[in-house]
Structure 1
Amino acid sequence: MASASKGARPVAPRGAASVGALALLLASAVTHADPAADTAAPFTIRDQNPLLAGFGLPVAMPSRAPDRFAAGMVIFWGSTALAQEQGNEEILVDAETREARLTLQGPISDRLGWQVQLPYRYTGGGTLDGFIDSWHDIFGLSEGVRPLLAHDQTNIVYSRSGVRRPDISASATGLGDIQAALGYSLYASADSAVMAWLSVDLPTGDEDKLTGNGATDVSLVLSAQHRLNERWSAFGQVSGTWLGESDLLPIDQDSVAWSAMAGVSVRAWRGLSLKAQLDAHTAIYDSELDILNEAVVLTVGGDYRFASGWRLDLGVSEDLAVEHSPDVVFVLGLKRSW
């Protein structure tokens, strides 16, 4: 198999260092969010790596206890094309992924809240390859192995010492792992909020379809937000996830993964806010392959709050740690409280 990562490898932050840096950024952010306006609204992002998306790493959780029932839907549309080889490991990932994640949340008391997420995932061929090739051409960006791969096809193969698993060449779709969470507000004021969450990822997905990891994962999450002034807000999150054992890959798996998020938003005009957000997690597998290692993802975009109460999110994610996560992921979200 041709290798896109053999020899000189992209310089990227290691997982522990990445999470540590973001944790420090979180600590500086926990010091301004108006409960009514909820100005700090992170993107609901998680790593869309086809081989890791089934694990229960948490998305951005609320930092205030919800005072009303709320429902939202976020859609991730991503593309990954890479070939990597290190030692006795080889991997080829050429696929498009789409995930629709329904989120329901509500209050239990003044300080307690609940949240349930129901994801539906698709992994297979798609339509983004031509657009991404044109984008790379316009800006003179490296295309990696994309020119060597057929457009809009599905091919996911991992090999270790001659053992190939998974070996996927057809599209698959289905319900992912349902996540249920309980949260407790540790601190809340007009300007700042901190909330702790216990999240459980239930094995309702199918690891053969890459919609789950076939195990139960449990996360402890600390989420915070702070309004810096009338226009600027900061938000962040740190979490630890205890991972159930998965049979997806013939390779040793870590039992704990750490993740962190930090970002800022600025109110640009009326209901329009612009946002930039960093998300990172440590490695889940004991592997030298970049795509199975730590990831650092940057998402930029914004949200618009309509007078009717609906909030629309639009964003695009890029892999800052090159080839550690999908090349590009488009994010579209819609949410409202009642």
Structure 2
Amino acid sequence: MSSELSLKSMLLAAVVLLASWCRPCHAEPLEITPFHTFNQSPLVQIYGLPAAESAVVQPAGKGWTLLAVDVANSYLKRETAREELFLDGEGERITLALRYGVASRMELGMDLPLVAYNGGVFDGFIEDWHEFFGLPQGQRPGAPKGGLGFAYARDGRQRLEMDEAGLRVGDLRFTGGWQLYNDGGDNPVALALRGSLKVPTGSSSRLTGSGGTDMALWLTGSSDYALPGKWGHATIFAAGGGLATSDGQVLKEQRRNLVGFGTLGFGWSPADSFALKAQLSGHSAFYRDSEFSELSSGAMQAVFGGTVAFSPRTTLDIALSEDVTVGASPDVALHLGMGHRF
């Protein structure tokens, strides 16, 4: 476990150090885009569920790269006469993403993820967070701290079991985007069609991949508004689409092969150097034939935080997410995303 904690500490330290070297700039209006994150549940992040992404694709000959770190902590223990579900652990997903404009109105890209699991260090913080804001604690009080184990049994048969810490390559994703509309104004209205293809380069037995191939197609749009006086500008953004998956190797007898997903959010940039953002992201169920709503029902997350611009080309997203539908997504997740345009 120490190696994974050291890796996490180095990544967070690198982001903080980079932020300390850079000074927020006041050069041009900050583009407000959705947080580049999605449900980090160990039973969901293995599939090709995409982030909403920007409604503006990269111009021809221009690109954007992102180093994102998602840290998610889960604890859930459910049992009936037929089923048992146990999720206890912390996951880190490190994603290196690249988007490049290959032609007018057309963008191609890829996401390379690294996925790690360990007992984690945020159990106590999450209990304090929930207590401070009066949020449901679920089954956390009294549960052992720092545990790692994901298991599911049905009708006396163990169908999932993973309790090994480690860092491994996840499932590689190829992405594409087509600009359907962009009015090109100072406060643009834009609409893009996006798609992704996820291939099984990860390990289904270690929950770093699903063992199958997934395809997603979605629309993402945004509308920006100038605010009066010195109040800056605000953006409303939304996305919606569908995901088609193969059965893969994780609970494949209970898989739903078609999943719908969507995001709705807004952001406010009172200055050119930062913006405040919030979004709701949800999806339908990935599994069926279970009495547990955590498997057979959809999920909804509230994500809130902001963006800091260190230069006209370099930004840092910082966000926390909270599960709106308890148990279907991690209790609390941290998202850091350092983006750079070139």
| TM superposition score category, shorter chain reference | 0.7 to 0.9
* Secondary structure at 1:285 match in 2: coil
**How far has the Cα of 1:215 moved from its partner?**
0.5
> Could you tell me the TM-score, scaled by structure 2's length?
0.85
1:197 paired to 2:194: yes
Counterpart in the other structure of 2:324? 320
| Deviation of 1:315 (Å) | 0.6
Partner of 2:43: 51
1:115 aligns with 2:119: no
- Give the match for residue 150 of structure 1: 144
Cα distance per residue 1:88-139 (max 9 Å; x no partner): 2220111101111111011111111112111111122110012122223434
Equivalent positions of 1:165-176 (< 5 A) are 165-176=159-170
Contact kept, 8 Å, 1:113 with 1:183, in 2: the verdict is: yes
**Alignment-derived partner of residue 278 in structure 2:** 276
- Judge which range, 249-258 or 270-279, deviates more: 249-258
Check whether the contact 2:65–2:340 (CA below 8 A) recurs between aligned residues: yes
Partners of 2:279 and 2:303 within 8 A in 1: yes
Q: CA deviation at 1:266?
A: 0.2
Give ranges in structure 2 of 5+ residues lacking alignment. 1-27, 228-232
Letter in structure 2 aligned against 1:257: V
Aligned to 2:239: 237
The Cα shift of 1:84 comes to 1.8
Q: CA deviation at 1:308?
A: 5.1
Counting only pairs closer than 5 Å after superposition, residues 54-93 of structure 1 correspond to structure 2 as: 54-67=46-59, 68-86=62-80, 88-93=82-87
| Cα distance per residue 1:183-205 (max 9 Å; x no partner) | 11111112211111221011111
The answer to whether the Cα contact below 8 Å between 1:39 and 1:227 also exists between their aligned partners in 2 is: no
Cα distance, 1:65 vs. partner? 2.0
Distance 1:290 1:218 in 2: 25
Verify the 8 A CA contact 1:173 1:209 in the aligned structure 2.
Answer: no
Q: Which residue of 2 aligns with 1:221?
A: 218
Q: So what's the TM-score if we normalise by structure 1?
A: 0.86
RMSD over aligned Cα, in angstroms?
A: 1.6
Match of 1:252 among 251, 254, 260: 254
Q: Give per-residue Cα distances to partners, 1:227-260, cap 9 Å, x unaligned.
A: 0334110111111111011221264211100000
Identical amino acids, percent of aligned pairs: 29
Q: Whose relative contact order is higher, 1 or 2, with alpha carbons under 8 Å and at least 6 apart?
A: 1
- Which residue is equivalent to 1:332? 336
1: distance between equivalents of 2:53 and 2:135?
34
Separation in structure 2 between the aligned mates of residue 42 and residue 162 of structure 1, nearest angstrom = 43
Q: Which amino acid aligns with 1:212?
A: G
Give the whole-Å Cα distance in 1 for the aligned partners of 2:112 and 2:138.
34
Q: Following the alignment from structure 1 to structure 2, what is the Cα–Cα distance between the partners of residues 184 and 212?
A: 27
Gaps of 5+ in 1: 1-35
Q: Which residue does the alignment assign to 1:96?
A: 90
Q: Please give the secondary structure, in 2, of the residue aligned with 1:135.
A: helix
1:255-314 deviation per Cα after TM superposition (whole angstroms, max 9, x unaligned): 100000110000133311000011000001003312223100000000011235210100
